[in-house]
Structure formats: C-alpha cells, structure tokens
Structure 1
Amino acid sequence: MTKCGYVSVVGRPNAGKSSLLNWLVGEKIAMVSHKANATRKRSNIIVMHEDDQVIFVDTPGIHETEKLLNQFMLDEALKAMGDCDLILFLAPVTDQVKYYEEFLLKNKKNTKHILLLTKIDFVSNEEVLAKMKEYEKFSDKYESIIPVSIKKATTHADILDVVVKYLPEHPYLFDPEILTTEHLRDIFKEFIRESIFENISDEIPYETDVLINKVEEKKNVDVIKATIIVQKSTQKGMIIGKGATAIKRIGKDARVKIEKLTGKKCFLELFVSIKKGWTKNREGLKELGYDID
C-alpha cells in the first residue's frame, strides 16, 4: 500500500517555506520573496517520493496583527495546521525559540510535527549544534529535528524519508504527474505579485493585488491580461513609473517566470486600477478572493 497525506508547511513570515517547496518539487511554483508576508493563501504542491505521494500545503507566515488581510492570512495558516496529517515547522537557525513556543500553543489538535532548522548556510556548525541543543527541551513535542541546507548538503530524501514515515497508508489523492492543484491563472497572478515585490519599494507591495482578467492559451503563446490593484493614486504612479518604466520592468520579470513554467511564449498586458481601502474592508477583500470568516 502506498502512503499519501497532507503536510502543512508553517513558520513565521520569511522562514523560507516557499523556497523549500520549490526546491522539493523541482519547479518554481510557490511565490518567493525576501520580504515578509508575501504568501497570502494556502496552496497545494505535490511531491512524489518513490511510491508515495506528499501533498505539501504552503501557508502564509504565522503572525499576529489587527489588519483584516493579515487576519485572513493567519486563518489560512491555522486551517492548514488543523486539516493535515503532519506539520513541518520551519525555524530559521538564528530565530529565538519563542517562535516555536508560539506555534505549539496554536497547534490546538497537537498534530504531529517535524522541526526543520533552516538557513543553516549562514552560520557555523557549532551554532547549528547549539541551536539544536536549545530545542532539546521540547524533544517530547516534535517527532524529529532536521537541519536544512537546500544550497549545500541536504538532499530531498533527508526530508522526505522522514515525512513519509508519519503519513497514513492511502491511495494517491492526485494524478502523480501533476505538481500542484492550483489553476494556472492563480500561478500567473502570484508571479506578477512576486515581480511587484521585487521591483517596487518596500511599502507598496503589501497594498497591491492582481486580478487576472483574461487568459487565452494558444498553440505557441499564452495571452494574459491582468490588472494590478492599488489603494492610492500615488501608488498607481509608482507602479507605472516615469515613462512607464516600472510597469514594463514588472511585466518583463513576470513574463520570464511564466514562460519558464509553461515552456511557451507569453504576451502579458498589465493595467493598474485604484480600489481605495481594499485591504481594510471585508467587501474589498472578498472581491479579490479573501473571504474573512
């Protein structure tokens, strides 16, 4: 009997969740940014390991805030934790242990979890061992602790062998050939959002979103029309840039990402629209796909 199950990948904002998942699946699917709170929704990324299927659930970072959009993001992470067979908690090696303690309080169902010590490339072996020692007092809480270096020593099997051990025996839930349950439209949206994060100054990306207006898949080219949503006219000016330089740069970056994934040419047309206060009211959030309970 094969093993198959859902594994939620959680941690504080910017812990390296999306980077880890892209590395495990061998494709760029999840949005990655060095800026915190880039991931807003749960998404499934499917990894086959020998005869077993692991459905990883990428989640927004666990954090507390009063803002409605951030409340939606926290709810997404907590729901993923409650619905899965196993949790991977990512703890950057330089983090204080308090983030892990906060996670333990939020893990209401006491779902089994593995602790991944990430970003170990930036510290010495002695510092890694010292941090592992700090976590030893919680050894009755986690199933395993794994130091992770996706740039150097760690192999996929170092993580997946341990993950599969804690999954139930079950037939595959998805076709083994697919990498994600996300629609292409949603992946295109995330690639455009990522390009905004990479090309616009720090404060603007968090008040932007993207609506995919149209996707026309032709034999040799994908034609995509999308609208970047902002809250203020000043933000619209920054997204467009002098002589439309900024929006051209965003479009070029997004197009490269899309073409790499699809293997086809992409014609991408971007527009900018102002939707005042959309991050601060339930109606504005719902229009863009963020339903607050």
Structure 2
Amino acid sequence: MRETQTRCGFVATLGRPNAGKSTLLNALLGQKLSLTSHKANATRKQLNLIVPHSGADERGAYDAQIVFVDTPGIHHQEKLLNKYMLHQSLRAMSDCDMGMYLAPASDEIRHYEEFLNLSRDKAVHKRHILLLSKTDTLDNATLMRKIAQYQPYQSHYLALLPVSVRRGFAPSEVLDVVARFLPDSAFLFDEECVTTAQTREIVKELIRESLFMNLSDEIPYESDVLIQRYEEGEIERIYATIILEKQSQKGVVIGAGAQTIKRIGILARKNIESLLGKRVFLKLEVSVQKGWSKEEKKLKKIGYDCADMPR
C-alpha cells in the first residue's frame, strides 16, 4: 500500500481589484482573516493563509498544506502606495510555486490578456489556475460562452474552474484542483497555524475593514491604521490611530457627536473579539498626515516598506 504523500506550496492569489480574492480565501480557510469590501483595492499587502487539505488523485493519496498568498488587486496608479501594492502582487507572482487568477464572470477578456502581458513583461509569468468568479451573475448558456472566450489561452493556465461563493460552493472543489499541481514537500508550518501574520497585523486590517464599511468611497482609500499599543491580558487593550490625508476628512471620520468613529470602533471591536475569542478594549484616535500615501518614510512607519521596490 502506497504511503500518503505530503504536498506543500505557495499559491499567489491574483486578479484585478474587487475580483473577490479575499472573499474566496476566507471561504476556503473557513474563517475570516482577509479584509473584504465591495470597494476595490481594499487589500494593500500580502497575507498568507494556510489551508490544510487531504485527498487523492492520479498522483496518489495526499495530505496537503496550501499557503495562499492574498495580494492587492493588479492595477496602475501613480501614488507611491499604489506602486507598492502592485509590487506586492508582482513579487508574489515571482516567489510562489504557482498562481490562482480570479476573473469575475462579468469581466471582459481584455483584463486577463492584460494580466498575461504584464506577467510576461515583468518576467514573472507563473503557471496558474484560472477561476471564473461570481458566476452567479450568469445563466448557464452565458457562462458557457464566457468559458469559450478563454479557450484560446488554455496553454497559459493549468485548469479553468467556475466558482461562486455567494451561490455556495464546495471548497474541496477548488482545493482538489490546487493540490493536484502542488510540489511534493514536507509541511512548512505547524499544522495548527492558519496564517503567518502577527495578530496586530490582522487587527489593523479589521479596523481598516470597518473604515470601508462605515465611510464614503473616497476616505477609506486615503486612510490607514497604525497600531500604537497592543496590551495582551484577560482583556486585550488596543490603541490605534486612524491616519488621514486631509484635515477636512477628520470631521467626517469623527462625525457629529463622535457617532461615526463610535460605529467604526464598535464594528471593529466586534470582529476582533470574534477573531480572538475574548473581550477587547479598543481606543481609536484620528491623525491627519498630509501626503502619507506618497512619502516613503511615512509609508514605512505605517507598515509599507518600499525599500526593495524598483526605482
């Protein structure tokens, strides 16, 4: 009887902004760790999510440890922060064993063509699985026509799989396909580990998610969160500052009678408590730092190190 194989590898999760990458990864993981929003470009940094999976295929029975790397949406803008985000995606494409590209079913084929051209031009082309996401928006006949549009590019992808998190899907369908192409390898992380991120990094993202949920379209993109202090104990005590670009935004974030920042804090605290499984005290302050998204020193202080970016 053949022994059960162990497989392990890094999978860069790629796609344009708002393709549904973070929503899919949370569903595959079975818990919420990656920031989700209906607004584009919510994800700003790589986040490793570790998903165990067992199965059997033509290579034999296996136990797999799949390290999905959530990345910012692939886009081009002139702000230094946006260049940093694109660099995060390109680096993931280069460093990972394989990719998983999400193409919303409503997308024009040109978005995928642009991805292929970018990965070729930057010399980071990686074998990848193509997922057609948000397929609940199409009837079966339209979906078949959409799949046919990608057929001329089948030499570029390992497999094409339609998925819809909203309609409901079996995570094993995606994990089976990914595991088929993973390298044989011993596990790289403890089997109880679900992410390589520090708790304070995830806490920061949960506060940022609350900003996206409670503020208008512009402000979340011109804001960020800096964790000033994190005190562990029977009650976690977290002190954080919301960073803004403009003085005029401060009043909007605080709101009349401090109602808006109170809503932001309540939602963030609820999600942090759900993550940690314990009570949380959360104190939020607001600071205006003009041009923070364009200046390397300010970005580094908030957690975005641009030192290894190409100049």
TM-score normalised to structure 1 length: 0.98
Q: 4+ residue stretches of structure 1 with deviation over 3 A? A: none
- The structural deviation recorded for 1:153 is 4.8
Contact 2:79 2:294 (8 Å CA) reproduced = yes
Using the alignment, how far apart are the partners of 2:38 and 2:152 within structure 1? 31
Using the alignment, how far apart are the partners of 1:110 and 1:263 within structure 2? 41
- The structural deviation recorded for 1:170 is 0.5
- Tell me whether 1:267 sits opposite 2:281 in the alignment: yes
One-letter amino acid of the structure 2 residue matched with residue 227 of structure 1: T
Using the alignment, how far apart are the partners of 1:67 and 1:226 within structure 2? 24
Q: Percent identity?
A: 52
Partner of 2:116: 104
Using the alignment, how far apart are the partners of 2:217 and 2:102 within structure 1? 24
Using the alignment, how far apart are the partners of 2:226 and 2:19 within structure 1? 27
Partner of 1:64: 76
Partner of 1:197: 212
Task: Describe the shift of the 1:162–1:215 C-alpha distance in structure 2 as closer, same or farther (beyond 3 A).
Answer: same
Contact 2:106 2:137 (8 Å CA) reproduced = no
Contact 1:78 1:106 (8 Å CA) reproduced = no
Alignment partner of 1:135 out of 150, 158, 181: 150
Deviations 1:194-247 (A, max 9, x none): 00011011111111110111111212x211110111112111111111100000
Partner of 2:85: 73
- Gapped regions of structure 2 (runs ≥ 5): 55-62
Contact 1:3 1:168 (8 Å CA) reproduced = yes
Alignment partner of 2:192 out of 153, 173, 177: 177
Using the alignment, how far apart are the partners of 1:151 and 1:233 within structure 2? 39
One-letter amino acid of the structure 2 residue matched with residue 265 of structure 1: R
One-letter amino acid of the structure 2 residue matched with residue 43 of structure 1: L
One-letter amino acid of the structure 2 residue matched with residue 147 of structure 1: P
Using the alignment, how far apart are the partners of 2:245 and 2:148 within structure 1? 47
Partner of 2:6: 2
One-letter amino acid of the structure 2 residue matched with residue 61 of structure 1: G
The number of residue pairs the alignment matches comes to 292
- The structural deviation recorded for 1:93 is 0.3
Task: Describe the shift of the 1:171–1:255 C-alpha distance in structure 2 as closer, same or farther (beyond 3 A).
Answer: same
Deviations 1:133-191 (A, max 9, x none): 00011111111000001233521111111101111101001011111011010000000
Contact 1:227 1:272 (8 Å CA) reproduced = yes
Alignment partner of 1:148 out of 158, 163, 177: 163
Contact 2:222 2:293 (8 Å CA) reproduced = yes
Moved more, 147-156 or 16-25: 147-156
Partner of 1:186: 201
One-letter amino acid of the structure 2 residue matched with residue 33 of structure 1: S
Deviations 1:94-114 (A, max 9, x none): 001111111112222431100
Partner of 2:36: 32
Contact 1:192 1:254 (8 Å CA) reproduced = yes
- The structural deviation recorded for 1:66 is 1.2
Task: Describe the shift of the 1:153–1:242 C-alpha distance in structure 2 as closer, same or farther (beyond 3 A).
Answer: closer
- Tell me whether 1:222 sits opposite 2:236 in the alignment: yes
Using the alignment, how far apart are the partners of 1:95 and 1:195 within structure 2? 28
Deviations 1:23-77 (A, max 9, x none): 0001100000110110000010000002110000000000011111100000000
Using the alignment, how far apart are the partners of 1:67 and 1:109 within structure 2? 23
One-letter amino acid of the structure 1 residue matched with residue 41 of structure 2: N
1:81-100 alignment runs, 5 A limit: 81-100=93-112
Task: Describe the shift of the 1:40–1:287 C-alpha distance in structure 2 as closer, same or farther (beyond 3 A).
Answer: same
CA RMSD, Structure 1 to Structure 2 (Å): 1.0
One-letter amino acid of the structure 2 residue matched with residue 27 of structure 1: Q
- Tell me whether 1:21 sits opposite 2:17 in the alignment: no
- Tell me whether 1:245 sits opposite 2:249 in the alignment: no
